[in-house]
Structure 1
Amino acid sequence: MVVWSLWLPLLWAAPLPVATTGAQVQGQVGGSVLLAAECHPGFHVREAIWRSLWPSEELLATSFRGVLETRYHSRFLGRTQLHRNLSLQLGPLEPGDSGNFSVLLVDTGGRIWTQILQLKVYAAVPRPMVQVFIAVSQPPKTCQAFLSCWVPNISDITYSWRLEGSIDFGIEPDGLFTDGQVLRVSLGPEDKGMAFSCVVSNPVSWNSTIVTPWESCHHETGKASYKDVFLVVVPVLLLLILAGLSAWYRCPCSGRKKDVCADEDTLQTENPLV
């Protein structure tokens, strides 16, 4: 074991005449991934060294003559498992685990083979939020609406829409906006039960929310919609504001000048014009 400890720094600094890069592995937060060690046929591995290259270079696992070791102090301590085929398993994954990894293999003839893998860790996609905005509503004939779909704080998200109960949605390209995040629909009475699903996905997960826009186009009798409340509240507020401004212009006094204004009104009352 002493010989291995002395030889390890030499392997670490040894030139890498043969290498392969570009392999990509995707994982989900809370899950695990397997970083597979591969080499050419006839390459009889004697030693293996797994390292994390980014954001910091750390030793993760080693194998020397069949002895596997993973108890190295790194950010993956306690979350690594080196298999007999020299593939490294990581998990449970955390959001900051994305990065580059390398495995250095040495065969019985002294040849060196290095493989670099790129790990990308994604969070599971939560259920999206969908809002319905009514553009034109002419009861009971037509209703034009915009369906907006949104997922917070998730990267690499893809948005798509699906008509429930139909295999092929067949929407026109001009009906989608903001990279598919917003959908424009035109509905009639025959579309009362039509439901749409917003599907959000990333490379490792997906989720969806169903909405029936006709319910927002026509509210039930006796219940006020947001539009009705808006039409009632705004005029009342305008009247109150105008009344306040009128009173202020009549007596532009406040605080200490309030009594002066009152005195002026008294004098005008007591001394009417003849």
Structure 2
Amino acid sequence: MKAPGFGGVMLLLHLQSLGIASIPARNPPHYEVNGIRGGSVSLPVFITSSKRVAKIEWKFQPQTGLALVIAEFRNGKLERPNPGDRFGHRLEMAGEATLRIAVLEMGDCGLYTARVRLSTSVVKEYSFSCRVYEPVPEPQIRYQLVPKTAEACNVTLQCLASEKGGIDVSWKRGTQLSDLEEGSGWYQLSAEGSDLQVSWRPNSSDSTFTCLLSNPVDQKSSSLDLVRICQSEGMGSNPAENPPQQVSGILGGSVLFLLKLPSIKMVGRIEWSFQGGSGQEVLIAELKDGKLEQQNITFGQRLEMANKTTLRIRALEKEDSGAWTARVLFATREVHKQTFLLSVFGIVPDPQTHHHLVSKTAEVCNMTLQCLVSEKGGINISWKRGTQLSFLEEGSDWYWLSAEGTDLHVSWQPNSSGSIFTCLLSNPVDQKNASFDLFSICHNDGASGCLSWVRLAMLAGLLVQILAVVSLNVLERAGKKQN
């Protein structure tokens, strides 16, 4: 076998120095992904359009157990080495370099690694820590009246969740769900946040208090109106004494209309009516002798009684939003009216995220993070920082938010402790989020520009040397022929 000449040796050395070999990066980008049980998550690998992907190998490392190869992307197709594994038919190829996991299970928590081989034989690795959360249960609010005075109504509100662990409890006031004012003298929150003690005055503007249960991917709420609790007399026939109660539901989900009736009074009949938008009030159903009789076919089989006095609506639709009124006729011929104002919200879409590295020095990395939503109306955009999803500090001089809240401009220092920023999209019943790792953005995006210029320069030098070697060989052969 003939040994490589000087030109071949130089070519091999330059190829190795350029990093064009199957050697993965030492610090692969790492991302955190959250999902809800039964939902789906996407694991996107960001490859520049100028680089062609030859193959992507996906591995899954469960919280306990060995890492397994679960999928390969090759020639635009998804290949499954073991179709009988725990993922079954739940893995999908969403785009050239994105793995989608459908119908999430709690056992899907773990580390996912994408090993990307480019057509240039360069190998890159990307890792994703995936956490799956249970859907948040419906909160239950209980109240207890404390002896009231002529000036104030003292009541303790308690927010209960059927499940514990990983669920945050918070309280809001008013129909706009405003934060409780710190240091207020007319309500006090318990240490664990579940009990709210209120000293409410009838002339106060906010009589509605809402309990919110949430985790990083889901949220549920329940509201209570203190006017109804604190009225000086029992429930009467005057609807003004029983103000409407706000109820929120999610598209495709269900809601309960819970009537608070005195246990000592016997219910003779309950009539349910509905008024949507600017339409007329229509009698929908009637409950008598423990049976629900529908008077209108608009809602099909979606109405049912959860108990003797509580109406449930299943498979919610947008058109179900409106005023639902219960007219209760007691055996004593007294009449009680209770109205529920139902708002049905759509499922919050996944955020569309982009980032742009503006500039980078040894001391600071300036970038813009962008969070977009595919749907408009009724969706709030907010930003959190750190793995604990802390609020952004107002007046900070190293990040500032655009007026519409979609763009976050960050001037990040590499020695800062928090490199994770999270965008949250939410409405009163649902929430989605996506996170950015500033360390990965500054490290990879900043380095790629530099390295690309260096590699181009080295490639140019390599081509010059190859041309010089070829030219010398041609001249040497031409001289021999002349001799």
Would the alpha carbon gap of residues 161 and 40 (structure 1) be closer, same or farther in structure 2, given more than 3 Å must change?
A: same
Determine whether 1:114 maps to 2:345.
no
| Superposition pairs of residues 257-272 of structure 1, within 5 angstroms | none
TM-align CA RMSD? 2.7
Would the alpha carbon gap of residues 145 and 167 (structure 1) be closer, same or farther in structure 2, given more than 3 Å must change?
A: same
Determine whether 1:44 maps to 2:44.
no
Q: Which runs of 5+ in 2 are unaligned?
A: 1-235, 454-483
Q: Any conservation in 1 of the 2:383–2:392 contact (CA below 8 Å)?
A: no
Q: What is aligned with 1:64? A: 288
Would the alpha carbon gap of residues 40 and 130 (structure 1) be closer, same or farther in structure 2, given more than 3 Å must change?
A: same
Q: Distance in 1 between matches of 2:401 and 2:268?
A: 57
Q: Distance in 2 between matches of 1:86 and 1:72?
A: 19
Quote the offset at 1:23 in angstroms. 0.5
Amino acid at match of 2:321: S
Q: Any conservation in 2 of the 1:61–1:82 contact (CA below 8 Å)?
A: no
Q: Distance in 2 between matches of 1:158 and 1:202?
A: 6
Q: What is aligned with 1:205? A: 430
Aligned residues: 207
| Superposition pairs of residues 82-161 of structure 1, within 5 angstroms | 82-135=305-358, 137-161=359-383
Would the alpha carbon gap of residues 176 and 38 (structure 1) be closer, same or farther in structure 2, given more than 3 Å must change?
A: same
Q: Distance in 1 between matches of 2:352 and 2:308?
A: 45
Match of 2:256 among 19, 28, 34: 34
Deviations 1:193-249 (A, max 9, x none): 92211122211111111113452651415548xxxxxxxxxxxxxxxxxxxxxxxxx
Determine whether 1:218 maps to 2:446.
yes
Q: Distance in 2 between matches of 1:154 and 1:85?
A: 40
Q: What is aligned with 1:237? A: none
Determine whether 1:18 maps to 2:243.
no
Q: Distance in 1 between matches of 2:363 and 2:306?
A: 66
Q: Any conservation in 1 of the 2:276–2:319 contact (CA below 8 Å)?
A: no
Quote the offset at 1:170 in angstroms. 4.9
* 2:308 aligned counterpart, secondary structure: coil
Q: What is aligned with 1:185? A: 410
Quote the offset at 1:184 in angstroms. 1.8
Q: Any conservation in 2 of the 1:33–1:91 contact (CA below 8 Å)?
A: yes
Would the alpha carbon gap of residues 68 and 140 (structure 1) be closer, same or farther in structure 2, given more than 3 Å must change?
A: same
Residues 34-43 or 199-208, more deviating: 34-43
Greater strand content: 2
Greater helix content: 1
Quote the offset at 1:104 in angstroms. 0.7
Which structure has the larger Rg?
Answer: 1
Q: Any conservation in 2 of the 1:33–1:89 contact (CA below 8 Å)?
A: yes
Quote the offset at 1:160 in angstroms. 2.3
Q: Distance in 1 between matches of 2:339 and 2:391?
A: 42
Q: Distance in 2 between matches of 1:84 and 1:190?
A: 59
Q: Which has the higher contact order (CA 8 A, sep 6+)?
A: 1
Q: Any conservation in 2 of the 1:71–1:77 contact (CA below 8 Å)?
A: no
Quote the offset at 1:42 in angstroms. 3.4
Could you tell me the percent identity over the aligned residues?
A: 26
Quote the offset at 1:84 in angstroms. 3.8
Q: Which runs of 5+ in 1 are unaligned?
A: 1-15, 225-274
* 1:218 aligned counterpart, secondary structure: helix
Q: Any conservation in 1 of the 2:384–2:392 contact (CA below 8 Å)?
A: no
TM-score by length of 1: 0.66
Q: What is aligned with 2:304? A: 81
